[in-house]
């Protein structure tokens, strides 16, 4: 362990602009000043010693003039001073002056004030000199019987650290503390004493626990937490003890402290895999999520539940608790709800799907009434998707779900309505028995649809799946109702001309007829008081879309009319009725074409839409069998192919997931029996408490590094040249939001370098946390300097700086060595993620920063280039494997990733193989990157530019 990594007890902030005072002034203040000036002088002395000054001349002054003072602030500062001041001579012997200090602290340990006693005991925990501690031992023992708990608990800590560092000073410490623990009443004292016994003498700790195991529930939460840790360690080291203590863990699940419940549940899962234990732990986790108000706590505990589910044996137990898990949906936070719904969906089975659907339907209806919360729309979307997945997996449920969801087609939130439409399209194709129900519900809500995109989808579904004569007639009626009076151009011109006489217009026959045909819209227009608003409001939906210039919906309508007309001809034998229906369909298309070519719409009709409507008119006029087949059979088949491909992909991903979860054991793998494991091997097992501590400190080893040493060497950056007077290299350790620079500084000269300081500055969204302290380097000596850098966003950061130093005895100015720049790699923050196509398109439209990177590579294969980009950018390809398979000379794929700061990065790869340049020609094309922030888009572009070319290793 290097000096830099030693436990640091005291951190003191130093103002950078202050001038260090001289030793004579300080000595004068400490000798002759009042209490206030002595306090200030002592503070300055502490800061100077922390900065590397020795100040040996002040030691006796402080002992004579400051140590006898009774002021509490000075006493506290003196504790800091004695902790940091050098206490030995260069050859390692204790300074004679320290005997006087030792005597002063013996008096402080008998001081009537409990604060002074307690503070002194805490200070003794930090002393590493046995000669200083030896005379104080009787006084420390006496403090165990002090009336005040503050003194007693610090006495226990002092005895523990002394016993751990110098056992010979107090060999009977475990026995002493055990007797103290039996008679102690204060919770904090008991906790410290029990903690000491766990680490110093586990058998005594177990003996004590055995005597009071029935009273554990009455203890304070700090003691209960320590008991959980002890039981965990004991049961892992000696599995035969499980039966003795597992009941105690069960009891601690009922503790009043959330922290104890959480730890007890985690311990119970590691000690036992019995269904009752898993159920109790899961129930405890669910209670914690519901009762805790902090969203971070909810998310952490939800993650523990998800971890439980990953174990195949535990999944069945959790399936029985799905209804309890759904209680978490009462939390307003969207992230919590998202995780909960995903967990519930993973656990759903034929036994509980009915109850799950009932709860989700209630939640969907609730969201309809609440509109003030900003996340309500997103939550509704999540619910719709969950119900969709349930219905696909359990077709029996679809009949219950569809009527509720169809109401949302008329929702203002287009995203939620689009999800419902997608679900309805899949259901109507898959479940033949539900077609009539879906068509009926669709016709009911059709007139209320507000979004043009949803309107198009609904038209397609009605056109594709209306198979009876009555349904076809109903669709035609709805379309006429939605289009209003025809011909559109003439009626609009009449309306414009008659606008000067509103009263007369209301009484005109055709308009009256139009109003009665429209149903609800008639009431709306009658109630509106202002004339301009009425003009907008009383337009039927389809007419409104067309007048806004959205003629794509007209092309969709033309296809629908053609399909139902061809089907009507096949169903009805009477020639007159056939001709009448086809003529009506053709009239609607013709009037829309007329409108498109007129000047009434805000935007004229596009050529594509004209072509589509004209084609439909031609098909209806000819009614050839080939066209009939294309319109009424091929369309449905292509949808069927798409859905089956999607289902196949989902099954494949589920299979991969289940393969990941199934632990495969090779035939020649050794089997380990806990009971037969040697003691020293048990210690190699992962200790959950140790792992969580390491994770908090950021020292977790990355599992993917096959050889940790090799991966560490990859991150070493040389900062100076080998011929520089000071050689420096840095190891860059990235730990989520922190970067730790471990800089090795080597003095390559024969001079002593004083005040050798590493000066750093940053570029980008990086912030230096503290300024590294100056060092003194002996000739050819080396030292490690650590610097912490905070990261605020995903952006390429640069750390640059220099090393400045004074040469001992030289009269010249400070010397300076400029360091090479350290580039922080953006890839440490980017993780692959997935999102739906709709979310990708929405983000693509919203994100304002785009970076277009031209492909410049030596790779000649399209697929190879795509995989190379995925590997070097850490992004995930959203385009399915099937869409990328085959070879046609060009390729387009969507990529997505998310940073640890929650920023999204999108990329679209459009590449082609220039065949005319020969088979060895490299791939050409563009990669477009979009992100919310400029830094992210530019950084990702730079990364792609740097790693485009394949290097031959």
Q: What is the DSSP string of 807-828?
A: ETT--S--EEEEPPPEEEPGGG
pTM of the model: 0.66
Alpha carbon distances (Å) from 255 to 88, 188, 324, 783: 50, 17, 20, 50
Q: Report d(CA 509, CA 506) in Å as an integer.
A: 8
Same-domain status, 916 and 938 = yes
pLDDT band at residue 5 under the 50/70/90 scheme: very low
The answer to the question of residue 870 being in a domain is yes
Beta-carbon count within 10 A of 564 CB: 26
Query: Is 589 found in the same domain as 484?
Result: yes
pLDDT exceeds cutoff 60 at 952: no
Strands 830-832 and 849-854: unpaired
Could you tell me if 874 and 832 are in contact, meaning their C-beta atoms sit under 8 angstroms apart?
Answer: yes
Q: Which residue has the tokens 């990708």?
A: 840
Residue 722 and residue 805 in one domain = yes
Angle formed by the axes of helices 414-430 and 837-846, to 10°? 160
Residue range(s) defining the domain that contains residue 719 = 714-824
Q: Is the pLDDT of residue 477 over 90?
A: no
Domain boundary at 824, 856, 877, which? 824
pLDDT tens for residues 339-350? 888 888 888 888
pLDDT at 489: 74
**pLDDT band, residue 951 (cuts 50/70/90):** low
| pLDDT per position as a tens digit, 876-906 | 888 877 777 777 778 889 999 988 777 888 9
Rounded to 5°, the CA angle 331-332-334 comes to 105
Share of the chain above pLDDT 90, in %: 3
List the beta bridge partners of residue 678.
Answer: none
Tell me if 613 is assigned to some domain. yes
Last residue within a domain, chosen from 406, 421, 446: 446
Q: Which of 789, 824, 859 is the last residue of a domain?
A: 824
Inter-residue contact 664 to 658 (CB < 8 Å): no
Q: Would residue 902 count as lying in a domain?
A: yes
Please indicate, yes or no, whether residues 868 and 792 belong to a single structural domain of this protein. no
pLDDT in tens, 851-878: 998 988 888 888 888 888 888 888 888 8
State how many domains the chain has.
4
pLDDT, mean of residues 197-213? 81
Determine the length of the chain.
Answer: 953
Which among 77, 74, 97, 75 has a CA at the least distance from the CA of 86?
97
Contacts of 748 (CB under 8 A, 6+ apart): 724, 725, 726, 727, 780
When pLDDT is cut at 50, 70 and 90, the band that residue 629 belongs to is: low
The rounded Cα 233 to chain-centroid distance in angstroms is 31
Q: Are 277 and 236 in contact (CB under 8 A)?
A: no
Distance, CA of 716 to CA of 735 (rounded, Å): 16
Query: Is there a domain that residue 230 lies in?
Result: no
Q: Which residue has the tokens 């030292």?
A: 783
Alpha-carbon separation of residue 343 from 2, 284, 293, 324, 348 (angstroms): 45, 16, 20, 12, 9
Helix (H) or strand (E) holding 169: none
**Domain match, 360 and 472 both:** no
Environment class of residue 572 by beta-carbon count within 10 Å: exposed (0-12), middle (13-18) or buried (19+)? middle
Strand partners, 744: 729, 784
For the cut 90, the answer to whether the pLDDT of residue 728 exceeds it is yes
Do 603 and 497 form a contact (C-beta atoms < 8 A)? no
Helix (H, G, I), strand (E, B) or coil at 671: coil
Kindly state whether residue 562 falls inside one of the protein's structural domains. yes
Q: Do 254 and 216 meet the contact criterion of CB atoms below 8 Å apart? A: no
With respect to residue 104, please indicate whether it lies within any of the assigned structural domains: no
pLDDT at residue 503, as a whole number = 39
Residues 430 and 490 in one domain: no
Indicate if the alpha-carbon torsion angle 332, 334, 336, 342 is positive or negative. positive
- Helix axes 221-237 and 187-200, enclosed angle (nearest 10): 20
Residue 295 covered by a domain = no
Omega of the bond prior to 487 within 30 degrees of 0, cis? Answer: yes
414 and 387 in a common domain: yes
**Considering only CA atoms, which of 636, 653, 655 is closest in space to residue 880?**
653
CA distance 196 to 178: 9
pLDDT > 60? residue 749: yes
Task: Work out the average pLDDT over 363-375.
Answer: 69
CA torsion sign for 944, 946, 952, 953 is negative
Distance CA 221, CA 792 (A): 36
d(Cα 356, Cα 346) in Å, to the nearest integer?
12
Pair 795, 774 in one domain: yes
Residues 472 and 595 in one domain: yes
3 state DSSP class of 92: coil
pLDDT in tens, 382-395: 888 888 888 778 87
Per-residue pLDDT band at 440 (split at 50, 70, 90): confident
| 758, 630: one domain | no
3-state helix, strand, coil in the chain (%, to 5): 60, 10, 25
Structure tokens at 510: 């055709």
Residue 114 in any domain: the answer is no
pLDDT at 445: 82
Asked if the model's pLDDT at residue 367 lies above 70, the reply is yes
Please report the sign of the dihedral spanned by the C-alpha atoms of residue 332, residue 338, residue 340, residue 344: positive
Residues 477, 596, single domain; the answer is yes
Question: pLDDT (tens digit, 9 = 90+) per residue, 13-45?
Answer: 666 556 667 778 888 888 888 888 888 888 888
| Spatial distance between the Cα atoms of 405 and 423, rounded to a whole number of angstroms | 9
pLDDT at 479 exceeding the cut of 70: yes
Cα 744 from Cα 448, distance rounded (Å): 71
What is the β-pairing status of strands 782-791 and 738-747?
antiparallel
The pairing of strands 822-824 and 876-877 is unpaired
Q: What is the pLDDT of residue 653?
A: 67
For residues 584 and 578, give the distance between their C-alpha atoms in angstroms, rounded to a whole number. 10
- What values do phi and psi take at 694, rounded to 5? -65, -40
Same domain, 439 and 489: no
């Amino acid at each position: 362990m290097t000096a830099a990594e030693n436990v640091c007890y005291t951190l003191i902030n130093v103002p950078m602009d202050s001038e260090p005072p001289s030793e004579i002034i300080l000595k004068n203040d400490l000798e002759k000043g009042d209490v206030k000036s002595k306090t200030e002088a002592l503070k300055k002395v502490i800061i100077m010693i922390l900065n590397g000054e020795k100040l040996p001349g002040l030691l006796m002054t402080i002992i004579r003039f400051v140590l006898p003072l009774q002021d509490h602030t000075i006493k506290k500062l003196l504790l800091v001073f004695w902790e940091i001041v050098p206490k030995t001579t260069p050859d390692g012997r204790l300074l004679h002056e320290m005997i006087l200090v030792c005597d002063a602290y013996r008096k402080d340990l008998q001081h009537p004030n409990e604060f002074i006693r307690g503070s002194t005991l805490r200070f003794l925990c930090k002393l590493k000199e046995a000669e200083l501690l030896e005379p104080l031992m009787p006084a420390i023992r006496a403090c165990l019987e002090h009336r005040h708990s503050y003194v007693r608990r610090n006495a226990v800590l002092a005895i523990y650290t002394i016993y751990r560092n110098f056992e010979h000073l107090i060999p009977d410490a475990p026995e002493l503390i055990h007797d103290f623990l039996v008679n102690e009443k204060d919770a904090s004292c008991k906790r410290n004493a029990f903690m000491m016994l766990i680490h110093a003498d586990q058998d005594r700790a177990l003996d004590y626990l055995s005597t009071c195991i029935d009273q554990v529930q009455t203890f304070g939460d700090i003691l209960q937490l320590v008991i959980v840790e002890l039981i965990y360690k004991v049961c892992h080291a000696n599995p035969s003890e499980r039966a003795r203590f597992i009941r105690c863990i069960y009891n601690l699940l009922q503790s009043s402290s959330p922290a104890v419940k959480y730890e007890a549940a985690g311990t119970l899962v590691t000690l036992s895999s019995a269904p009752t234990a898993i159920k109790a732990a899961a129930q405890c986790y669910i209670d914690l999520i519901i009762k805790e108000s902090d969203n971070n706590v909810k998310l952490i505990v939800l993650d523990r539940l998800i971890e439980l589910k990953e174990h195949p044996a535990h999944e069945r137990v959790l399936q029985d608790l799905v209804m309890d898990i759904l209680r978490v949906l009462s939390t307003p936070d969207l992230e919590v709800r998202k995780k909960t719904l995903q967990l519930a969906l993973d656990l759903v089975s034929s036994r509980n799907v009915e109850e799950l659907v009932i709860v989700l339907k209630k939640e969907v209806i609730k969201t309809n009434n609440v509109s003030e919360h900003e996340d309500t729309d997103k939550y509704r979307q999540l619910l719709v998707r969950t119900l969709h997945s349930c219905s696909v997996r359990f077709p029996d449920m679809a009949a219950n779900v569809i009527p509720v969801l169809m109401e949302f087609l008329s929702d203002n939130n287009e995203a939620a309505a689009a999800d419902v439409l997608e679900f309805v399209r899949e259901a109507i194709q898959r479940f033949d028995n539900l077609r009539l129900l879906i068509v009926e519900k669709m016709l009911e809500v059709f007139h209320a649809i507000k979004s043009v995109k949803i309107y198009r989808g609904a038209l397609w579904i009605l056109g594709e799946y209306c198979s009876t004569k009555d349904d076809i007639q109903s669709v035609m009626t709805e379309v006429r109702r939605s289009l209003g009076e025809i011909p559109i151009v003439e009626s609009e011109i009449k309306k414009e001309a008659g606008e000067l006489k509103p009263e007369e217009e209301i009484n005109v026959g055709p308009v009256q007829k139009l109003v009665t045909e429209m149903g609800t819209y008639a009431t709306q227009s009658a109630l509106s008081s202002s004339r301009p608003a009425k003009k907008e409001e009383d337009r039927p939906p389809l007419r409104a879309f067309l007048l806004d210039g959205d003629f794509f919906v007209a092309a969709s309508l033309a296809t629908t009319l053609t399909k139902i007309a061809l089907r009507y001809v096949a169903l009805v034998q009477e020639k007159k009725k056939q001709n009448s229906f086809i003529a009506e369909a053709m009239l609607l298309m013709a009037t829309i074409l007329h409108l498109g070519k007129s000047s009434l719409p805000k935007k004229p009709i596009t050529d594509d839409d004209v072509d589509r409507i004209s084609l439909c008119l031609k098909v209806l006029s000819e009614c050839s069998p080939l066209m009939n087949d294309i319109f009424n059979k091929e369309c449905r088949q292509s949808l069927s192919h798409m859905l089956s491909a999607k289902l196949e992909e989902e099954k494949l991903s589920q299979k991969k997931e289940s393969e990941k979860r199934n632990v495969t054991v090779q035939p020649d793998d050794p089997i380990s029996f806990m009971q037969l494991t040697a003691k020293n091997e048990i210690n190699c097992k992962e200790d959950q408490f140790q792992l969580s501590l390491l994770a908090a400190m950021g020292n977790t080893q990355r599992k993917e590094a096959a050889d940790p040493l090799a991966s560490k060497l990859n991150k070493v950056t040389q900062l100076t040249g080998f011929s520089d007077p000071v050689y420096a290299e840095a190891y860059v350790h990235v730990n989520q939001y922190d970067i730790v620079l471990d800089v090795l500084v080597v003095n390559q000269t024969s001079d002593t370098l004083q005040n050798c300081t590493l000066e750093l500055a940053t570029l980008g969204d990086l912030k230096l946390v503290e300024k590294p302290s100056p060092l003194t380097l002996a000739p050819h000596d080396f030292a490690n300097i650590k610097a912490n850098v905070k990261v605020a966003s995903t952006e390429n950061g640069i750390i640059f700086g220099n090393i400045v130093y004074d040469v001992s005895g030289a009269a010249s100015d400070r010397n300076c060595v400029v360091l090479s720049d350290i580039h922080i790699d953006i890839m440490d923050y980017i993780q692959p993620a997935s999102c739906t196509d709709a979310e990708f398109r929405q983000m693509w439209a919203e994100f304002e920063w785009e970076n277009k990177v031209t492909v410049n590579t030596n790779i000649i294969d399209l697929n190879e280039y795509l995989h190379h980009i995925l590997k070097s950018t850490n992004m995930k390809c959203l385009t399915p494997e099937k869409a990328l398979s085959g070879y046609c000379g060009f390729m387009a794929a969507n990529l997505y990733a998310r940073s640890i700061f929650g920023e999204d990065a999108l990329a679209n790869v459009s590449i082609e193989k220039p065949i005319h340049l020969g088979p060895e020609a490299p791939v050409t094309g563009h990669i477009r990157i979009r992100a919310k922030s400029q830094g992210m888009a530019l950084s990702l572009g730079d990364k792609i530019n740097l790693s485009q070319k394949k290097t031959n290793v």
